[in-house]
Amino acid sequence: MDLRGARWAPEQGPHGGAALRERRPGDEKSALQRREVLRLLLGCAAAGQVGLLTGCGDPDPETRVPLADVPVGRRVRIRHLGDAVELLRSEDGIVARSLRCTHQKCEVFWNAPDNVYRCPCHPAQFDAEGRPLAGPVTEPLATVPVRIEGDTVIVGTPAPAL
């Protein structure tokens, strides 16, 4: 049998093992599809390495924090999906607030003596509820869905509707 110029395609052998057969029309299309699937998988892996959110199996949309780590009345800074989020627990419940400035996304910091959030990039200030006070901002700091389940604070997914 002359194998020069022959093009071969993998297939399952009669006993379940791998075998080769000559390519048929249509094999090119399936090879392209396999390459496309591989490219997408590699793209997803690369996106996962840099923490991008994609449709490639997103990271867990919830961040869990032990309730004991969020004492009542204290502002607790956590990371949720790569972003800074502040948890503020009161006797009435808990609030999660994004610490991304609504101007150009710098990370704001709570300034307790002045009772404001300050942006280090430009002169924006937000009040204790995240409302804009000064600077180039017009939008409040975003709130993030949060709930308490047992002894865990769950950030990122609204509580299921009852």
Residue closer to ligand FES (CB basis): 63 or 130: 130
- How many CA atoms lie less than 13 Å away from 114 in the CB half-sphere? 10
Q: Which residues make beta-bridge pairs with 126?
A: 117, 132
Q: Which is nearer to ligand FES, 65 or 126 (CB)?
A: 126
CB of 99 to ligand FES, least distance (A): 11
Nearest approach, Cβ of 108 to ligand FES (angstroms)?
A: 7
- As a whole number of angstroms, the distance between CA 98 and CA 108 comes to 9
Distance from C-alpha of 152 to C-alpha of 14, rounded to nearest angstrom: 55
- The least distance separating ligand FES from the CB of residue 128, rounded to whole angstroms, comes to 17
Longest dimension (CA), the chain: 87
* Residue closer to ligand FES, measured from CB, 126 or 153: 126
- Identity of the residue, 56 or 84, whose beta carbon is nearer to ligand FES in the bound complex: 84
65 vs 124 by CB, closer to ligand FES: 124
* Residue with the two structure tokens 């901002």: 137
CB of 116 to ligand FES, least distance (A): 13
Between CA 91 and CA 98 the distance in angstroms is 21
**Number of C-beta neighbours around residue 61 at 10 A:** 12
Residues at the site binding ligand FES, with contacts judged by CB under 6 A: 101, 103-104, 106, 119, 121-122, 124, 135-137
Minimal distance, residue 110 CB to ligand FES, in Å: 14
